[in-house]
Amino acid sequence: MRRAASHSAPFGIMKRYKDALGNWRQTPADTYAAIVDTMSQEIAAKDAPLLVVRRGQRKRLKAPAEIILEDGVLSATATLPRDLPLGYHRLRYLDGDRNICLIVTPGKCFLPKALRVWGRSAQLYALRSSQSWGMGDFANLRRLARWSARQSGARCTFDQPTQRRAGGLHIDHVMGLFRLFWIQKNSDPSWGAYVRYPEDELLAILALESERAKAYIVGEDLGTIDETFRQQLMDPCVLSYRSCGSKTICPPVSPNKRSPL
């Protein structure tokens, strides 16, 4: 996992952070102590260790281990072979009962060659119409996609877990792969703190699922993502989207054409 910034502490707690206005704020001491106390209690019940490797990477293990693949078992080895298949496997060390989750990832998300599309981001539940029961459904989504494609050549991307059908997945609040703002119960938001997450592992899992589903990934970026995080998203081929702000960016739609919903 990539190390957190120098202003981070154990458990990924950020000692200071930049707010939405660009001002640096210190994490309150009481909040910091409360998170450390909570995380210290949970550490004993944490999940089994995790090992993430890229496909084709040869890695020496600390001790000989048996590799339990998704579809079979390999003989004991002291080095991970380069030809391990993508997926979620397990390592069982022979010198004890240690079991480690082994994730073999492609390292990069699926990305079709020469992909060049634009589309509308649509929340499925918000696609209400006179033919739906208070919230959107797949029929409304189909009507919107066909109308968008017919009128302006758009391709609809939406944040539902149906990658195989959609061809792409839109991730709201993609910064959640890197950090989240924690607030104590019954506390004011000003007493909150950012906690860093294991972004390398999360991006590796995202790349694996993207490759398996053959679906490209689009992360929400409305201009507020730190440039460092933006580069980390570019490395595994996570795409971003921007709000249309001018006619030179958005394909025109005839004002005489009504929405299909």
H-type helices in the chain, by residue range? 29-42, 138-152, 163-166, 199-213, 227-234
Domain boundaries, the chain: 56-105, 124-179+187-241
239: β partners = 218
Q: pLDDT tens for the chain, 261 residues: list them.
A: 444 443 456 788 999 888 878 889 999 999 999 888 888 776 655 555 889 999 998 888 888 889 999 888 787 788 898 889 999 999 888 887 678 899 999 999 999 887 777 777 777 777 777 777 777 777 887 888 888 888 777 766 554 544 455 577 878 788 889 999 998 888 888 889 999 998 999 999 999 999 998 888 888 877 777 778 888 898 899 988 766 554 444 544 444 445 555
State the pTM of this model: 0.75
